Copies of this chain bind each other. A is one copy, B any other.
Amino acid sequence: MLEKISNTIKFLSADMVQAANSGHPGAPMGLSDVMSVLMKFINHNPKNPNWLNRDRLVFSGGHASALVYSYLYLTGYDLDLDDLKNFRQLHSKTPGHPEITTPGVEIATGPLGQGIANAVGFAMASKTAASMLNTDELKVIDHKVYCFCGDGDLQEGISYEACSLAGRHLLDNLVIIYDSNEITIEGSTNIAWSEDVKARFEAMGFDVARIDGHDYEQIAFALDEAKNKDKPYLIIANTKIGKGALELEGSEKTHGAPLGEDIVKRAKIKAGFDPEVKFFVSEDVLFETRMAVEKGDLAEALWKDSLKNLSSEKKELLKALENPDFSKIEFPDLKGENLATRDSNGKIINAIANAVPGFLGGSADLAPSNKSDLKGLGDFPCGRNIHYGIREHAMAAINNAYARYGLFIPFSATFFVFSDYLKTGARLAALMSLRHYFIFTHDSIGVGEDGPTHQPIEHLSSLRAMPNFYTFRPADGNENVASWKIALNKNAPSAFVLSRQKLKALPKAKFGGVENGAYLIEEKQNASITLVASGSEVQVCLEAAKILSKDNITANVVSAPCFELLCGQDDSYINRLFVGKVLAVEAASALEWYKFADEIYSMKTFGESGAASDLFKHFGFTGENIAKFAKDLL
């Protein structure tokens, strides 16, 4: 029966790729044997993909999506054979790489290495949840996290970062199955890779097994062993890519292209399948695999029943984790305070954490600089501060998993310039509409002496250009509070881009507010020019307006903490905001400001090393210089 299930997966996958004339048959066929055994081990409820205590299964090699959809169909998730036949077609439930719109897909994967870090994140989230909810008598959370990965995933640095942290925390709920087929797109893995993977993972604190990934007994034995680990567990499954694809078996040619009708037919004949029938699933196979439905229903029912024994305190906590109530947050009143926005932000996130038990996170080893410490709330796994180490990329992917887990609202902190290191994680957060917050301090040449390698220039433009992502660059603590209130109510990630240096508190809004993305803080009759800026440059514009008024030039000043929100305003708002010539001022590339501005005053080069005040002067971000530039513009 296992062989029959395995062959069913193989040919469903091959047929999908043939039908789409596009896709990756090699990995699904190579992994179908492991998958057919793993199915028996996974504790899940296909009729409720959101059951909290389900095992999580992550496919780090997202190109093996035909395997994912075969698995989801066979075990009874809300997918039918027609969905499989529509593989990789526009608006299908079966896109080229797994996306969370498909029931049962835990997390979107595809960019290599992300999935392993997500799996580490799920395992960590599970530990956090267990530390919050479990008692000696009752394990509310005691599931496993399984992850399939390939050579590509293991070569990517992000997977190393995440696994190193998994080893540090002895994540005994994590099982990574490494599809070791010794093939990459350019040929044998040996062209670029000669590691002793077993020894490397052991050095990082894993238990490692090595098995023949086509031997059902070895697979079952290795998976069974996972029950008794006190460490994270790597199963190296030696496999052949495109297993069963006759003369193409073992070849990189099976990786990313259809096998061809001829091979598929001959392979089916060899396996005892009808070569003329596509998308074939025998009744006995379906009966066997769909037992997951009944088993899952029962498992969830028993689990739910056990929750009755939870203390009322824990019940309340679980409710608060599942349905966070932001109305309980007592935001600090920062009106009129001169603070660096990294400092105001530190106060805000502590206020949030005190009211919202699922709010947690940390920094890639810059907590004292990022002001991201949640005071008195302890460290992972028993507390809500997570020390990710100097691993920005893994941090973002781990927190994507926290956000997908069902209970948590995570934040990731680092210097703004190092947002480059975690960009793919931020992008996937946006693609999945996750509430995952990025705290990026040291936001401009205001970084000062650390110099150009540490001074962001293009980063604001880069984030603003990303769909479904909000970038807030508040100009004072008050804007910072307002930004968080907005961000918490978006089904999307947001970044807070914050100053290292102190900023003067802004005057009261004259028209509009942070919720509009930009608003008037200085409004005069018949202004001939509007200066618009974000963050630390707003106070420069206020100074410039003062200087201009001495020359009888009337200038309005607009503070613009969120460009994306501003883009969503209607013409009447925009026309009220921007009067006369419009000059945007930003100590960054700022090109996107041409959408609203006639001219921009921006950074044209990288920064320099020097005192922040010297740099603002050197690069012309002073009231005097902006006033002069504005006059020239008029």
Binding site for B on A (CB under 8 A): 20, 22-23, 62-63, 88-92, 95-97, 99, 108-113, 151-153, 155-161, 164-165, 167-168, 184-187, 191-200, 202-205, 256, 363, 365-369, 379, 387-391, 393-394, 417-418, 420-421, 423-424, 427-428, 430-431, 448-454, 457-458, 461-462, 464-468, 588-589, 591-592, 594-595, 603-606, 608-611, 614-615, 618
Contact = CB atoms under 8 A, between A and B. Distances in A.
A595 B472 CA distance: 23
A124 to B, nearest CB: 12
Nearest to A454: B110
Contacts of A591: 461, 464-465, 591-592, 594-595
Given A22-B449, A461-B465, 16 more contacts: A89-B609, A95-B451, A96-B448, A96-B454, A97-B450, A111-B417, A111-B421, A152-B365, A152-B390, A157-B159, A185-B369, A187-B387, A199-B203, A418-B424, A421-B424, A462-B465
B431 A427 contact: no
A22 B453 CA distance: 16
B185 A108 contact: no
Nearest to A419: B423
A168 B197 CA distance: 13
B466 A608 contact: no
B389 A192 contact: yes
A401 to B, nearest CB: 16
Contacts of A589: 465-467
Contacts of A204: 195-196, 200
Contacts of A199: 199-200, 202-203
B417 A431 contact: no
A195 B201 CA distance: 9
A186 B365 contact: yes
A334 to B, nearest CB: 26
Q: Which 5 A-B pairs have the closest CB atoms?
A: A157-B157, A90-B610, A192-B389, A95-B609, A110-B453
A319 to B, nearest CB: 32
Contacts of A111: 417-418, 420-421, 453-454
